[in-house]
Structures are given as structure tokens and as C-alpha cells.
Chains A and B, each alone.
Chain A
Amino acid sequence: MTYLDNLLEECLNELDRGIPLEKIVQHVPSEAAEILPLLRLAAVTRELPHPSMASTKARAQRGRIMKFARSNAQPERRFSWRFAMAQLSMVAALVVVALLTIGFTGPRGSRYATLSDVQGIVEVFDGQDWRMAANGERVHAGEKVRTRIDSQAALLFYEGSHSQLGGDTEVTLEKARGGWNRSLDVDVYQAKGLSTHTVAPLQGKNSHFVVGTGLGQAAVRGTIFDVEVIHGTSRFSVHRGTVEVTYGQERTLLTAGQVIVVEEGGAATQPAYAFDVQGPIEAMVGDQWTVGNLSFFVDPALVAGGNWNLDDWVRVRGRILADGSLVADWIQLVSGDKVMAHFSGLVESIGAESWVVGGKTVMIDSNTEIEAGLAIGDPVEVGFVVVESGDWLALEIVSIKEKSVESIPGTVTGTNTRTPQATFTSTTVPSQTQSPVPPTGTQPPGAQLTPTAVPVAGCAVGEDQPEIITLAERYGVTPAEILYWFCQGYGFGEIDLAYELAQGAGVPVSTVFEMVESGMGWGLIKQTLQPATATPEPTSTLKPTDEPKPTKEPEPTDEPKPTKEPKPTDEPKPTKDK
């Protein structure tokens, strides 16, 4: 967002309040030339007669909608003794048949899942068509459920287990059975999206709860875990208990706090501890993003096709790699106003001012809520914020130790040979200084511009405009090039600043404008383009080392302080030269 974006919005609001255009632009004389035509266009667009549906068609459509609503509503019936007796007889007969049947098939409620917590747009595919779903609806084996963006629903199973479906998610309930001993045998196939499964401790040797994705499957007996299918990968993460993940010929047992990503082709990442952060996007520099002061690597494929902007509120789930760096697995726009961050790991040391969890040092203070009875070796989840110094300050530390999970019959139990050892060492805390590597840092300013530097029609300024000549001379480029950027909607002040930053950093000016287009403020762009400090190169691989060495219990004081990052300066308003 730029100064002009804000200014236009303020002027539009004044226009809405009935203030004449000429009066509005009097308050902003230096920007009037840029703002006034846009305000006029907005006003004309508003006043234009827009199309409307023919009234006969609208009436017919209204009738159709109301008829549909009527057929959707529950029919009201008058009470009739004869009808009631007939129904009672039928019910009695059905009860006898049902009693005989369910003796063999288990409780009736075990053969379907009940939809609840339906919010937004949730649909069920019953084999023929997608229809809107409502709370209380039953989903039987073979039926699919999908949620749209910003929607959600839960599938409740008869013995208390449930699956929460996030937005833009699709699952098929492939199997749902149960027995009189409260056993549950469920197979869910997840085609896309995010689901969280809370499985009550399963009873009996025939109980299974399996979620498959095509790339892998998770089998559990009593736990809470997530399954995410996005961009051709499947991500399995565990909140409580243990989950056996099978992919290809491999099997891995994940414990609480751990996550694994299975990629197309069957390759999988090493199990790693998870992080989860929600907040506004504060920086997007190449493949390094910052949210809630937390910097992490973003695979371009993960965000391809999306229109991501600075200050967009997002939730990010990812992994903490063995070298301490963070990598995002899943990013989604959310509406929120509170920055939240969590990560998980084993408690490695407990100090008066700091703890080490999964190799990460987190500071604690008098406001930190710590669950009683935690000891070294316990798996915990830490809610934290990144403070100004770059340290992680714990807000709460809670146990995610499994309480009573039985071993899974016929699956891997015991030692998990692939459990990652968290070995964060000297560069544990990622900082924004790792990232500022512009895409084409060695190219001279303006090198890529000439092919496109053609003034567009409708930009009624000549190349002989004094400001254009001044800027062209100042930066050694052609007036046509300056004019090109001016006609893209940038003010002369912005163009001046962009060239200054580009030449200072040795990058093409188009890189700077790309940053502006991505929504970065000038302050952040300036900070980003400053020469990188001596921080280690980001790891070239996403996977931790295969055989991480056991971590010694580090003393909290041995932990090097994270790199301090200068706070971004306030975004300067571009100078308006016109």
C-alpha cells in the first residue's frame, strides 16, 4: 500500500459524504493531478446506469426460489389419531427389525458421521450432486463433504471422536463402522484442504481411525492430529499422542508436536517440530517472509498464483528444521487482529529466566503461564511473541504429552528412529537480516527496462516535462524510461526514491517497483535493499540432516543472542514533485 492508495481512499470517502470534487482536491494540491482523474472515473462509474434483470424474469425467478424454499422447509402436519396409530405400528415393526439387525451391525449411529458446526458454505455430494449441508445432517460411507473458503464444519462420530474441516477442504467418508464395545472403524480420504482429527481412545482390537490423502495415510488410536493437502503435498502433524504415518513403503511414528510432509512421488521430509504463527505479513523479500516478527522460508510454489500483499493477515504453519531455520508448509489468509505464534518441542532445560525447548531458547517472565509439573524431556507447546530484541518470549508453556494412548496393533511401536533431534546452535533465531537478497542483484539499474519502456496511451505527459528530464539526467537513463514509470501511476517523488534505492543497492529499478507492487512500504524496501549483514546463508535444503546428533542440554546462557534487527523506519511519504 502506498501513500497514494490511502489518499485516494480518503478522497473517495469525502466524495461519498457529498463534498464536491474540486473542494476535495483543494486539500491535496500536489497530488491533484494524479487523484482527480481517478475520482472522476469512480464518480462516473457510480452514476452510470447499470444493467438490471428484466422484471418478468426476476418475478419468475423469485417464484422459483420461493417454491424451492417451500420444498426445503419441513412440512407441517395436522395431528390425526388414525395416522399416529398407523405410524406407531410401523415404528414398532421397524424397531423389531432394527433390533435384530443392529445386533449384527453395531450401533446405528456408528455407521455415519453427523455434521455439526456448519459455518459458511458447506456441501455434501451424495453420488449425484453437491447440495448445501446443514447441522445435524448425516454423512454416510461413500459421501463427500466439502467446505468453501472461510467455511468450516465438523464430522462427529458416535463414540465422541470428531474431524474438524477447515475452509476449502474436501473429504470422503469411505468407511464408518462401530461395535457394541464402542469400537470405531473409520476411513477418511482427504482430497484437499485442512482437517483436524480428535480421536477418542479407541476400544477393541478392530478399531481403526485412518485418514488417507493419496500420498500417505495417518493411523491412530487416540490422539489429535492435522492432515493438510495442499499444492501436491500431504502434511501430517500431531498435537497429542502418536500417529503412524505410512507413505510408499515407509512408515514413521510421529509424536506430539511433530510434523512430516509427504511430497508427490512419495518422498517425505524428516519429522520435525512444528511452528504456527498468525499475523500480518510484515515482509516478503524473495523467499523469506516475516509474520509476527518471525522470518521463515517460503517455497515460491506454495504461494504461486496468489495475490499476497504486505499487511494481509495470514496464518502460517511450518517446520523448524534441524539447523534452526523455519520453513512454511501452509499459508492461508485469515481475518484476525491478534498476533499469535506457537511452536512445539521437548523441554531440554529449565531456567529461571529462560527455557530451552526443542533447541530454541525462550525467555520467560512473570506473565508466562507454565503448566505445573513439567520436566525435562516432556513434549510441550510454547505460545510466544518475538520481542524487539529478537528473543522469543514465552506467553505460555503447556504439556502435549500423550495421556493414555495404546499401541497400535500391527503398526510400528517403540523407538522412533526418525525422530528429529532439535540441534539449534549458533544461529537459532531467524531474523529479517537473512533475507534481503534482491532477485537480480548484480544487474545495473535500468538494465531490464528498455523493452517495455514505452509510454502508454492515456498518459498525457511529454518526455520534455522538466521533472522527467531532471530525473533522467540524475540517474543516467532515458526520459522515456522515467515517463514509463510515471505512466504506471508512480509520482515523481516515488520514481526518484526508487532509482536512488536501486542504484544504491545495485539492483534494477524494476525490482524496486515490483516490491512496491507487492505491497511493501518504502521504509521496508529501503531496509531490505540495504546490504545484508553478515548472517549465514539460508540453508539450501529443506531437510534436516539425516542423522542428527543427540543434543546436549545446553545452558541457556550459552545460547548466542539472536541477531538484532534494526526496526524498520516509518514509511516515508513519497515527495510529490509535481
Chain B
Amino acid sequence: MRNQNLSELIASAQQGDTGATGQLYEMNYTSIYRYLYYRTGQVQVAEDLTAEVFLKMVQALPAYRQTNCSFRTWLFQIARNLAIDYYRRTSTHGTVPLYDEDTVGQEGVDETVDVHITRQTLQDSLSRLGDIQRDVIVLRFVEGLSLQEVAEVLHRSEDAIKGLQRRGLLLMRQTLLQMEDGNDLFG
């Protein structure tokens, strides 16, 4: 596989180089899958939507202009649109399953805040957030996007993202502490 930089890779894929398309998939599928997983809470749905994102990418690549926004934020925009479409189709908005076979185990502990976070508790606390707050937290702290990139994906100003970010973290922390105290509203 040729080692091309991203711009060259995109240009090659735009000209029909399927190897370059495959490389673009390799470079981005994990991030897109993770985002869609936390957005939908379902492994199968996240996998299907990930495939759809890249099929859309192939279709839309000829029209993609590298000057508009970064390739990664463009892919997240497609993913977000598909997630919204999915919710519209299935009318399951906000009903993130609480337990999933893929979310067991893998514990991270932060003694200093008395919060024991696992992938499951993270997902539970994320499910308490509004869509945009959840997007901000996932894109910023799971995917590592910059503030500017998150603003691009969500079509918001950077200042708005800062506010959503702080309030989202606050709400997550409260939820996690509630769960620690046995006051888990998930029952």
C-alpha cells in the first residue's frame, strides 16, 4: 500500500483509485464506528451505519473539496446525518439500550472523584445527555477532535461548544456519582 499523505489519498480516491478508497476507510472506520456506537448504543446498528457512511463517502467524494472543511469533520458530518436519519426512520430517539454485550468489563477508576468509569457507565451517563451535548463529549473526549473541528461538525460556534462541553461534563459527573451511590435511575 502506498504511503500517501491525506490530500494525495483523497485526490487519488476522487479519481477512482480503489486502493486509496480502501486506505481512507482504514484510517477512519474506527473513529466513525465509535462515534456511531456511542450515538446509537447498538453494535449492529453502528456497524451498518459505518458501512453506510463510507458508501456515501464514495458517492460524494467527486464533489468533496478539500478547502471546505477537513476530511475527518466531513466524515463525521455524514455520520451524524445518517444517525439522525436512523432515529427518524426507527423513532427510537434517545432510547439507548442500557446494556450491550460489547460493553462489559474494561474498567477505569479515578479514586479522586470517587467515580468508577467503565464503558458501560460512560455509555449510561452519555445517554442522559441531549444529542448535541453527547456529540460534543464523544467528539471531543473519545475522538479527540479539536474545539474548532467539533464546531464544524455540529455547525455551532466555538463558544457554544465550550458551554455545551462544561455542562455536559457536569451532568455526566452527577449521573456517575448517582450510579455510585446506588441511586441509579436506570433501575
Q: Could you list which residues of chain A lie within 8 angstroms of chain B, going by C-beta atoms? A: 1-2, 4-6, 8-9, 37-38, 40-53, 57-58, 61-62, 64-66, 68-70, 72-74, 118-122, 131-135, 148-150, 280, 307, 309-313, 333, 335, 456-459, 487-489, 519
Contact = CB atoms under 8 A, between A and B. Distances in A.
Interface in B110-160: 110, 112-113, 115, 117-119, 122, 132, 137, 140-142, 144, 147, 152, 155-157, 159-160
B18 A118 contact: no
Nearest to B69: A150
Interface in B4-33: 13, 16, 18-19, 21-22, 25-26, 29-30, 33
Contacts of B46: 53
B172 interface: yes
A307 B118 CA distance: 30
A387 B106 CA distance: 59
A428 to B, nearest CB: 31
A45 B122 contact: yes
Given A5-B166, A62-B26, A120-B68, A150 B77 contact: yes
A370 B83 CA distance: 49
A76 to B, nearest CB: 9
Given A1-B160, A44-B110, A135-B63, A66 B21 contact: yes
A307 B163 CA distance: 12
A68 B24 CA distance: 14
B95 interface: no
23 contacts: A4-B166, A8-B162, A9-B162, A45-B141, A45-B142, A61-B29, A66-B25, A69-B22, A72-B59, A119-B65, A131-B59, A132-B60, A280-B157, A309-B159, A309-B163, A312-B156, A312-B159, A313-B157, A333-B155, A456-B174, A458-B178, A459-B174, A519-B159
Contacts of A118: 63
Interface string B147-187: 10000100111011011011101101111111001010000
B56 interface: yes
Given A4-B166, A42-B169, A148-B81, A49 B58 contact: no
Interface of B: 13, 16, 18-19, 21-22, 25-26, 29-30, 33-34, 37, 43, 46-47, 50-51, 54-56, 58-60, 62-63, 65, 68, 77-78, 81, 102-103, 106, 108, 110, 112-113, 115, 117-119, 122, 132, 137, 140-142, 144, 147, 152, 155-157, 159-160, 162-163, 165-167, 169-170, 172-178, 181, 183
A45 B144 CA distance: 11
A53 B25 contact: no
A41 B112 CA distance: 10
Contact of A51 (B34, B60, B132): B34
Contacts of B33: 51-53
Given A135-B62, A457-B183, A6 B174 contact: no
A27 B126 CA distance: 30
B58 A72 contact: yes
Contacts of A45: 117, 122, 137, 141-142
B159 A311 contact: yes
Contact of A64 (B51, B56, B63, B117): B51
Nearest to B169: A38
Given A51-B103, A311-B160, A121 B29 contact: no
A520 B132 CA distance: 19
Q: Which of B34, B156, B176 has the most CB of A within 10 A?
A: B156
Given A65-B25, A74-B16, A150-B155, A49 B160 contact: no
Contact of A9 (B47, B60, B78, B165): B165
Contact of B119 (A51, A133, A457): A51
Contacts of A40: 110, 112-113, 115
Contacts of A57: 47
A471 to B, nearest CB: 20
Given A1-B159, A69-B21, A44 B16 contact: no
Contacts of B160: 1, 307, 309, 311-312, 519
A57 B44 CA distance: 11
A74 B112 CA distance: 59
B132 A307 contact: yes
Contacts of A459: 174
Contacts of B55: 65, 68
Given A58-B29, A69-B16, A74-B16, A1 B173 contact: no
A132 B166 contact: no
Contact of B181 (A49, A457, A519): A457
B16 to A, nearest CB: 3
B36 to A, nearest CB: 10
B142 A50 contact: yes
Contacts of A488: 170
B60 A46 contact: no
Contact of A41 (B34, B37, B47, B113): B113
B21 A65 contact: yes
Q: Which of B78, B170, B173 has the most CB of A within 10 A?
A: B170
Contacts of B106: 48-49
B55 to A, nearest CB: 6
Contacts of B122: 45, 48
B134 to A, nearest CB: 12
Contact of A134 (B18, B62, B152, B175): B62
A65 B50 CA distance: 11
Given A62-B25, A119-B65, 4 more contacts: A1-B160, A9-B147, A43-B110, A69-B58
A49 B155 CA distance: 28
A306 to B, nearest CB: 10
A2 B163 contact: yes
A198 B63 CA distance: 23
A57 B162 CA distance: 36
Contacts of A313: 157
A38 B166 contact: yes
A154 to B, nearest CB: 12
A8 B162 CA distance: 8
Q: Which of A119, A132, A310, A313 has the most CB of B within 10 A?
A: A132
Q: Which of A4, A133, A307, A458 has the most CB of B within 10 A?
A: A458
A122 B119 contact: no
Contacts of A53: 29-30, 33, 46-47, 50
